[in-house]
């Protein structure tokens, strides 16, 4: 299928995803029943980002024009994560526009919506049934893209080592505060912290603050997200982490829905935000840019506040150009 026809299909898919068609609404509802971290708000946020950033015809044409089309289709195995709704869509998109035959292993946490959307593509263009396959066993592929935890990544690296591959591990995002942020910027930072309950690799799990930073302004800026504590799983995490800190006499700050703890680790538990003081911003940036754990740096100079969860087509996970990888198979 020519690239322009694939792009037209993707534009049509974006229109469908923005619609209230009953089958799509049912698929989204089914997804919330399968995974209690998914709800109407988180799914709609993910869908909106995909439609606006990934499925606009002009953006797709500009993006794909930068890459050669493969000489012949290869069998591409994709192992998807399930931490946030439709987290594997970008890998699916890259494989689809590259013209490869896709063999996809979905996460049990997110196995409803993408299979439904692929089914719509096949409904509109039946020949695609030969090129999109969902399977639990991905043996016999020519290349692999696999996303998982650090533990599963070690397994992937061993299992897929004989073939061209992209293996993605745990990553997270951090923010740099300078003490001169406006209330609006701090409120937008809350989007980067609390979207998807903090489960995404683009969620901010740690903030770096200058010596003497006044946390009152940050805590006030995040007040608009207090209802997050009403989610039972989030509250269970909050209560558990609070109990651990109390038992171990760990100093903490809280606004009753977020725990803040001084910690050098970039990764934090759900309901916890780590912080660390810095004295030299240039040294801090040098360290962060070389840290493989860091997906995004949120501030007013890198990824702007409130936009961490709105990656563009060329914002590749881990900084690895998926399209270039696929175009050279």
Consecutive H or E run containing 137: none
Question: Cα(24)–Cα(33) distance, rounded to whole angstroms?
Answer: 14
Helices and strands, counts by H and E, the chain? 12, 11
| Three-state DSSP class for residue 132 | strand
User: How confident is the model at residue 71, as a pLDDT?
Assistant: 82
3-state SS of the chain: helix, strand, coil percent to 5?
A: 45, 15, 35
Of residues 220, 217, 272, 223, the one with CA closest to residue 244: 272
How high is the pLDDT of residue 175? 99
Two domains, one topology: 3-170 and 172-298? no
- The domain limits of the chain are 3-170, 172-298
DSSP 8-state symbol, 318: G
Asked whether residue 70 carries a pLDDT value surpassing 90, the answer given is: no
Q: Report pLDDT digits (tens) over 282-315.
A: 999 999 999 999 999 999 899 999 999 999 999 9
**Which residues are CB-neighbours of 281 under 8 A, at least 6 positions away?**
176, 178
- Cα–Cα distance for residue pair 40/151, rounded to 1 Å: 31
pTM of the predicted structure, to 2 decimals: 0.95
Q: Could you give the percent of the chain with pLDDT greater than 90?
A: 97
Q: How many Å separate Cα 63 from the centre of its chain?
A: 20
Q: Cα–Cα distances in Å, from 252 out to 212, 249, 263? A: 16, 9, 10
d(CA 258, CA 7): 42
Helix pair angle (113-124, 89-98), 10° resolution: 30
User: What CATH number is given for 172-298 in this structure?
Assistant: 3.40.309.10
- Name residues whose C-beta falls within 8 Å of residue 180's C-beta, 6 or more positions apart in sequence: none
Residue 111: the pLDDT is 98
Would you list the DSSP string of 2-34? -HHHHHHHHHHHHHHHTS--HHHHHHHHHHHHH
pLDDT at site 77: 98
The CATH H-level superfamily of 3-170 is Aldehyde Dehydrogenase; Chain A, domain 1 (3.40.605.10)
The three-class DSSP label of residue 136 is coil
| pLDDT tens string 93-133 | 999 999 999 999 999 999 999 999 999 999 999 999 999 99
Average pLDDT over residues 219-246: 98
Contact predicate 145/88, CB 8 Å = no
């Amino acid at each position: 299928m020519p690239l322009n026809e694939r792009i037209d299909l993707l534009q049509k898919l974006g229109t469908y995803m923005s619609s209230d068609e009953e089958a799509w609404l049912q698929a989204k509802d089914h997804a919330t029943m399968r995974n209690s971290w998914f709800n109407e708000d988180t799914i709609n946020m993910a869908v909106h980002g995909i439609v606006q950033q990934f499925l606009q015809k002009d953006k797709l044409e500009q993006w794909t024009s930068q890459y050669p089309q493969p000489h012949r289709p290869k069998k591409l195995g994709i192992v998807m994560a399930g931490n946030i709704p439709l987290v594997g869509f970008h890998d699916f998109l890259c494989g689809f526009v590259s013209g490869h035959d896709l063999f996809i292993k979905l996460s049990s946490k997110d196995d409803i919506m993408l299979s439904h959307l692929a089914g719509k593509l096949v409904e509109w263009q039946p020949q695609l049934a030969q090129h999109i396959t969902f399977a639990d066993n991905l043996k016999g592929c020519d290349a692999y893209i696999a996303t998982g935890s650090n533990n599963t990544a070690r397994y992937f690296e061993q299992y897929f080592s004989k073939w061209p591959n992209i293996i993605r591990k745990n990553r997270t995002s951090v923010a740099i505060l300078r003490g001169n942020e406006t209330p609006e910027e701090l409120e937008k930072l809350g989007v980067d912290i609390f979207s998807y309950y903090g489960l995404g690799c683009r969620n901010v799990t740690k903030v770096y603050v200058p010596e003497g930073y006044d946390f009152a302004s940050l805590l006030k800026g995040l007040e608009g997200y207090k209802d997050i504590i009403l989610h039972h799983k989030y509250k269970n995490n909050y209560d558990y982490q609070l109990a651990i800190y109390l038992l171990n006499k760990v100093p903490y700050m809280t606004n009753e829905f977020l725990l803040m703890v001084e910690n050098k680790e970039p990764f934090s538990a759900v309901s916890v935000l780590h912080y660390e003081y810095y004295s030299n911003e240039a040294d801090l940036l040098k360290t962060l840019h070389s840290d493989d754990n860091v997906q995004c740096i949120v501030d007013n100079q890198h990824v702007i506040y409130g936009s961490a969860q709105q990656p563009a087509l060329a914002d590749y996970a881990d900084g690895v150009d998926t399209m270039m990888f696929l175009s050279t198979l």
